[in-house]
Structure 1
Amino acid sequence: MTNLAPTLAPTALCPRCGKTHLSLDSVSQTRRDHHPFWIDCPTNPVDWLEEQVKLGLQPPSVFKVAQDQMEEEMRQALLVEKIAGNDPETTRWVQELIRQAGGFDAAFRAAFGEKATQLAQDSQQRYPLSRRKFIQNLLIGAMLVTLANCGEATLSEDEDSLAQRRLEKTHLKIAFLPIACATPIVIAQPLGFYEKHGLTVELVKMNSWPELRDAAIAGEFDAYHMLSPMPLAMSLGLGSQATAIRLASIENNNGNAIVVALRHRERIQGAADFNGFRIAVPYIYSMHNLLLRYYLAAGGVHPDREVEIVVASPMAALEELRNGSIDAMLVAEPFNQLAVDQNIGFIHLLSQELWAGHPCCSFTASKAWIDEYPSTFRAVNKAIIESAYYTRRSENRREAAQAVAGAEYLNVSPTALESVFTGQFEDGLGNRRNVPNRIDFDPYPWKSFSYWMTTQFKRWGFLSDPNIDHEDIADEVFMTALARQLSKQLGQNPPTLIMRIEDLKYDRFDPTNPPEYLTRQLERFEF
């Protein structure tokens, strides 16, 4: 481990993402490879180390070494006073890091081995660094060493049992809306995945997204099923008081449709034909609303001037489509399929035709709850990720539909759910279609999802702050690295990158330059 220390290089701006990274071997290697490790690396090593220790991601040996390598001055006065200065918040974080590590000396020696003292002297001679900068670099060094080894191996049976014995809380309440998107949260109960990970979970049905949002703000439950844009909106204080919510994993991808009342079947050919319509979506800060706006704008229809977008729960939207008070809807399944099965409407467009693989719903918890129950959070997220992988397999789709259709869960037609889950369905226009990925269940929370959503928040005036940092909010809300680690422990092969190019129906989204994408949209479609 000691041979890593002398190769620590100065920081440099990465030409791909514009951020500052620190390379293990050289800045040129970082420029050449831009390994996903670097783009997933947080800017504040103190925050990272504190979170990693709390979540139990580091091996116990990392912080169990002798505390006799450094002087008292560097251990206490220098570390706290000279790093934190007079800033009480920084002082608190530094002190918490020391406490979590079992003393600064322990972290120092764990990172650099037996020659820690010599390294300190050599490093100060190599670089004209202040002691404050030197200590900061040592913390980064500790982060690099531990990062390189975390989350790679699956837990043995004994280690898994040990993790369960460390759970701070074993009886949980999780709030959800009874829609197909909630399947990973719901099916984990009958399949025994919660029990497998040492948990007893009570699932609590909610009636609407505003009701669930208010419950999350009040801290009424332990964790929540949410629309993927909701944690972003709540963390930014959009539509409610600012509340730090974390998106732990994706529950479902795709799984929605634009359904039009049958009385309009001869009229609707494309987006331009929706001019003058009254259209229901389940929530303002939803992929349904964002994708509907994306579609309408591409057809030259202004979503705030030339149509009326109203908010209604999926069940209410189905009834409004039936009685003629709305012309179309874009809501969760199986209510789109129910509109077809009940001869109320027809499927004009599946949401996956607008953006294949787009996120829909997610598993979330508040930052405060995660901080208080880190091991429990890790266990419940792992159970839901395992549930998502199970449901994703085509051979399990019919069984999953039957399992969640019952009155205690979704209380909907199992036939309609099977049509959605298998992708074999009638579209209301006389066609029998086969679209296997009509709904999907990939739990990996790509940070490019967040970047796209926040560009659309700005596009439609939901977000007035002209200085929004898409990267900062994604790093704050999306727990991508942890989802990858838990997936690996489950024997899965999750992506190694945190972002990807997203191909939508009318354009391509490059998350490395969100402002440019937004400018192109405004120039091309004029709004």
Structure 2
Amino acid sequence: MAFPTKASLSYSSSGLLNRSLCPCGGNHLPQGHLQDQMTYDHWQFAESMPQSPTDLIDDLIKMGVYKPQVLQLADTLTQVEFKEALLLRQISGGNPAREKLCRALIKEAGGLDQAMTAAFGVHATEFFSNTIRNSDFSRRDFLKKVAVAGALIAMSSCAQGNQTSTTQAVADDAPEVDGLEKTDLRIGFIPITCATPIVMSEPLGFYEKYGLNASVVKMPNWAAVRDSAIAGELDAYHMLSPMPIAITLGLGSTAFPIQLASIENINGQAITVAMQHRDRVQGPEDFRGFQIGVPFPYSMHNLLIRYYLATGGLNPDTDVQISAVPPPDSVARMTAGDLDAMLMPDPFNQRAVYEGVGYIHLLSKELWAGHPCCAFAASQAWIDENPNTFQAVNKAIIDACAYANDSANRETVAEALIDRQYLNQPLEVVQAVLTGNFEDGLGNTFNEPDRIGFDPYPWKSFAKWISSQLVRWDLMPEAQADYASIADDIFMTDLARELSESLGQNPPSEENRVEQLKFDTFDPANPDAYVEEQIEKFNV
């Protein structure tokens, strides 16, 4: 569910037009009667444009201004959004700061169509006459729309000469890519910060760097991702890390072999409690009777909340009610009183704080520092048919993980994620998650740089812990719990290491490690004993 932002940038038309610099950011020498607005050649370009927004976009397409992958946005955007996305892509060239300026201008004008129609539409003269007869506010509003349209066109006309975008910077050091079986890809994702490497690889050019024309496709929930994967409607997917195990083994669905290629994120989740319980909840024992939301039964979120509740003596199947809630619906459900608490992916924990409906009780890294959450996955059949393409897209994502994991890049990454076709969230919410500088909703401010991390290495010990908890909570029959085989057959640790090394990274040489959690230690050499110890210790 989308929520309106509380604050946005605001640029007045007069503020823009009084600048001597061109709106594109270039320092061009002004000429002619428009020296306070834009260069004369830009204005001539604007005046030569077609007289309707649709024709304008059509002409720019015919001129070859837009690359084919940009046109694929039409598959997921409405006509108005499509036009806006095309223009913004052309103007910004992947530069988040320039695109933010354009979005602020469009918002100031009341929308791209309104600005373009006022400036170039067939009824522009009639609109202008009407404004003359109306109030000063109407005249100012009309002129503002005209000014915004002119500024956007001017920015578009000179963007080609001034682009120094992140996309270009990434593409400049692109390796030679040969033998790709397929280049046009559809990769499904859920709009959460866990999807950062998969999502940002489109606007920041990581797919393009490896010869891929990949479009990320927003999905409504995890069941839809699973069903689309089985139906072959997607080439690859953003999945919760337990999902490849569950789908491969036929837990909750038809058995369909899926490979977990790389981890997308570690940490990055939180337990959020509705504000009406702020004085009641101190620890896991205080959740008794709560309605608790998680994104999917086969999720780290479900396993971690069960792990936490059990340490307080609660039986997650009888003392609380845990239900699957699509992450984009979670804040609305908490606002409506349907959820007392949730262990959700971000940015929705931070969004609950932003909306004043909940507070962050615990970050998931406090339960298990470095725990896996989401992953990049593809079907075994698709990998077998497209081995080179699969390695290329996996390499792009591993490369993107390294970029996103660098704290110096987090602001740029946040800018790339907030668009409507991606996370559709306020910038300050996404920045709070990615930078770790955040408020908890109770008046406290924290600096937790590792609130979320992007380490792609798929430790086989991750698979074994996940499988042990699926057994513990009767989500997997004990007879299917061949822990070593599950880890070896589904987690592609060797390939992830090989691709990381080819990028100059230093991945671990080991496949397993002892995992240190808040309340116990997991030895991947003996998962059965671990489950027995948990049950004995907490009597659940």
Q: What aligned pairs does 1:146-161 form with structure 2 within 5 A after superposition?
A: 160-161=175-176
Q: What aligned pairs does 1:233-252 form with structure 2 within 5 A after superposition?
A: 233-252=246-265
Question: Residue 437 of structure 1 aligns with which residue?
Answer: 450
Q: Matches of 1:422 and 1:515 in 2, distance apart?
A: 38
Q: Matches of 1:258 and 1:323 in 2, distance apart?
A: 18
Structure 2 SS opposite 1:165: coil
Structure 2 SS opposite 1:466: helix
Equivalent pair of 2:191/2:328 in contact (CA under 8 Å): no
Which whole-Å deviations, capped at 9, do the CAs of 1:267-287 have from their partners, x for residues lacking one?
Answer: 000000000100000000000
Structure 1 SS opposite 2:230: helix
Question: Residue 349 of structure 1 aligns with which residue?
Answer: 362
Question: Residue 305 of structure 2 aligns with which residue?
Answer: 292
Q: Matches of 2:304 and 2:178 in 1, distance apart?
A: 44
CA-CA distance at 1:193 after TM superposition: 1.1
Q: Which of 201, 223, 234 is equivalent to 2:236?
A: 223
Q: What aligned pairs does 1:139-178 form with structure 2 within 5 A after superposition?
A: 160-161=175-176, 164-178=177-191
- Which one-letter code corresponds to 2:285 in the other structure? A
Aligned sequence identity (%): 57
Question: Residue 394 of structure 1 aligns with which residue?
Answer: 407
Which whole-Å deviations, capped at 9, do the CAs of 1:307-337 have from their partners, x for residues lacking one?
Answer: 0001111121211111111101111111100
Structure 1 residue runs of 4+, over 6 Å off? none
CA-CA distance at 1:159 after TM superposition: 12
Q: Which of 450, 456, 470 is equivalent to 2:463?
A: 450
CA-CA distance at 1:191 after TM superposition: 1.7
Question: Residue 376 of structure 2 aligns with which residue?
Answer: 363
CA-CA distance at 1:203 after TM superposition: 1.1
Structure 2 SS opposite 1:497: coil
Q: Matches of 1:270 and 1:306 in 2, distance apart?
A: 15
- Which one-letter code corresponds to 1:443 in the other structure? P
Alignment pair present for 1:501 and 2:490: no
Which whole-Å deviations, capped at 9, do the CAs of 1:174-215 have from their partners, x for residues lacking one?
Answer: 111111111100111122111111110011110000011000
Q: What aligned pairs does 1:195-210 form with structure 2 within 5 A after superposition?
A: 195-210=208-223
Q: Which of 399, 413, 422 is equivalent to 2:435?
A: 422
Alignment pair present for 1:324 and 2:337: yes
Question: Residue 426 of structure 2 aligns with which residue?
Answer: 413
Structure 2 SS opposite 1:289: helix
CA RMSD across the alignment: 1.3
Which whole-Å deviations, capped at 9, do the CAs of 1:318-370 have from their partners, x for residues lacking one?
Answer: 11111111101111111100111111001000000000010110000000000
Q: Matches of 2:419 and 2:175 in 1, distance apart?
A: 32
Structure 2 SS opposite 1:359: coil
Question: Residue 308 of structure 1 aligns with which residue?
Answer: 321
Question: Residue 65 of structure 1 aligns with which residue?
Answer: none
Which whole-Å deviations, capped at 9, do the CAs of 1:126-173 have from their partners, x for residues lacking one?
Answer: xxxxxxxxxxxxxxxxxxxxxxxxxxxxxxx99952xx2211111111
Q: Matches of 2:433 and 2:174 in 1, distance apart?
A: 38
Structure 2 SS opposite 1:437: coil
Alignment pair present for 1:403 and 2:416: yes
Question: Residue 471 of structure 1 aligns with which residue?
Answer: 484
Q: Matches of 1:174 and 1:165 in 2, distance apart?
A: 21
Structure 1 SS opposite 2:421: coil
Question: Residue 272 of structure 1 aligns with which residue?
Answer: 285
Q: Matches of 1:326 and 1:410 in 2, distance apart?
A: 22
- Which one-letter code corresponds to 2:458 in the other structure? P
Structure 2 SS opposite 1:190: coil
- Which one-letter code corresponds to 2:333 in the other structure? E
Alignment pair present for 1:523 and 2:536: yes
Q: What TM-score results when the alignment is normalised by the length of structure 1?
A: 0.69
Question: Residue 180 of structure 1 aligns with which residue?
Answer: 193
Structure 1 SS opposite 2:276: helix
Q: What TM-score results when the alignment is normalised by the length of structure 2?
A: 0.67
Equivalent pair of 2:271/2:364 in contact (CA under 8 Å): yes
Equivalent residue pairs, number: 369
Q: Matches of 1:266 and 1:230 in 2, distance apart?
A: 36
CA-CA distance at 1:467 after TM superposition: 5.1
Q: Unpaired segments of 5 or more residues in structure 1?
A: 1-156
Q: Matches of 1:309 and 1:395 in 2, distance apart?
A: 38
- Which one-letter code corresponds to 1:199 in the other structure? L
